[in-house]
Chains A and B, each alone.
Chain A
Amino acid sequence: MKKIKVLTITLLTVLLIAGCGNKTAKISNGSDILIQFGNTKITKADLYSSMLEADSGYTIINIANKMIANAEIETTAELLSEAQEQIDTYKASLTEDWKTALEKLGFETEEQLLEQILTSIKSDKLITKYIDENFEALAQEYAPLMARMIYIKYEDNDIEKAKANAALAINEIKTGVDFKTVAEKYSTTVALANENLYTRYSEMDYNVLQYLLAVMEPTLSPPIENNNSSGIYIIQVTKTNIEQVKEAFIDFLSGNDEFITKANNYYFTKHNFTLYDVKTFEFIKEGYPSYLPEEK
């Protein structure tokens, strides 16, 4: 009998421990009634639950981002002045009164708007800071360089004609004819003749990318047949020195969503962003998974 008792207690304990699952964070005074009519009561907890459904993930990410931006970026006089300038420009463009405009933006006071703009500026600076702090590693990872290209398509499968044109184009470039002028004469896609930044992740033809990754110095390529044998590329690599491509590289990274996600993930992990509420965790996992420091 005693053995059965021990086994039963053990079983119940285990089930109890197993049942201690994820917790939902509750508000204080959730049973407070906000509106009542007849038997219908709308409580604070009811409202909280609906508001969480509305888009708590976005709100939490915003708040956490603000906390992190404030911890990482100091509020300097320069930042304040930049934020104030944005407000002044906006004010100058208004046709309605300031209070109405603020309300339409969802703010009660100008200070709230200023704070929001500051957070936005700081978020941008956060990305720049990440680039600065990791520049060498990023340069190595992305292998950025500047180049311009000519693409000669095999029209009517006339490969020989395309090859002949490619040879003529290379010759003209070597004799000093402007690259764009040559491109206008021979290239199927003139836009490629503009000097652009290319990285390891650029969506380019495989053979072209392999060439770019191998190049160490500015140079003019031989004709390179593309991967699906439908044309020829001529590539002029113009800058490979990281200092020379730095500005374009930073611009590229700052506008690259994938990179911004990576940078945000870095800061959220660095500042130990931790969720304790299973409901909001699920919302963030669904809508903003890249902000979760580790896969749960």
Chain B
Amino acid sequence: MFIQQLANGLSVGSVYALMAVGYALIYSLLNFTNFAHSITVTIGAFTTFFFLTYAMENLFLGIFAGILTAALLAAFIEFIAYRPLLKRNARRVYLMIIGLGISVMGDNLVIIAFTGRFRIFPVNFPSESIQIFGSNVGLVDILIFVVSMLALLVVELIIRKTKLGLAIRSASYSLEATSLMGVDTFQLILWIFLIAGSLAGVAGTLLGAKYTAYPSLGTFYTNKAFICAVFGGLGSLPGAVVGALVLGVSEAMISAYVSTSLRDLFAYFLLIAILLVRPSGLMGKSSEDKA
């Protein structure tokens, strides 16, 4: 039972991590929380669902379509909603308010367009399980964990090994100083949204596959991911991953050994607790080392 719950928790936690890293990336550059993140997750799930239902039942192409759409949507939101405010040097709280507006509006537009139905992906995911230390662990959970970790690894490699990554790490310290190096910071910000949106697309697809696609999918799970990002230390990428895995496993354990009704409450309890005890989060340092 324990191993089973641990696997389940790591699987959910790794999906939280995909979304939490998206929050952390954007926060590390722009010092605001992109609440519009949720709609990119939902749209990622829906795109994959529609692709599999109406185009072809090719899971890989379906996932790719979900990632691409979510990334483009994130970039679109940056371009039409955030950029004009950034250009005017508006206070970050206004960007957060706009993000919240987009999130609520997005949920409602999805309901209007596709109704509030829950949609099951028309692909038979492996329902078998394998034996690990005498426990049955679902193959889906392993698959989700591996895909999430691979996606995070790609992002880590981009940040550590590429010129774009170097610019992102510089900008996480100071956007202004980075612009003095000749970097077009608006282009850089667009890249960040593309990366965060891609991760949101992966998360949406995996969540849709595990739980079905529905209009408030993104909002529900990004709320959790936001808590993971705060718990890990807003703006810290390793912190976001650790926070996500901690929350995922804790939730799985609580629903197995305590009560399923307390599971969702736990996340918010954790949020309040960390803000009271250590407001900068587990790995949140000063503004020096965010990416």
User: Does chain A bind chain B?
Assistant: no
Q: Which residues from chain A sit less than 8 Å from chain B, CB to CB?
A: none
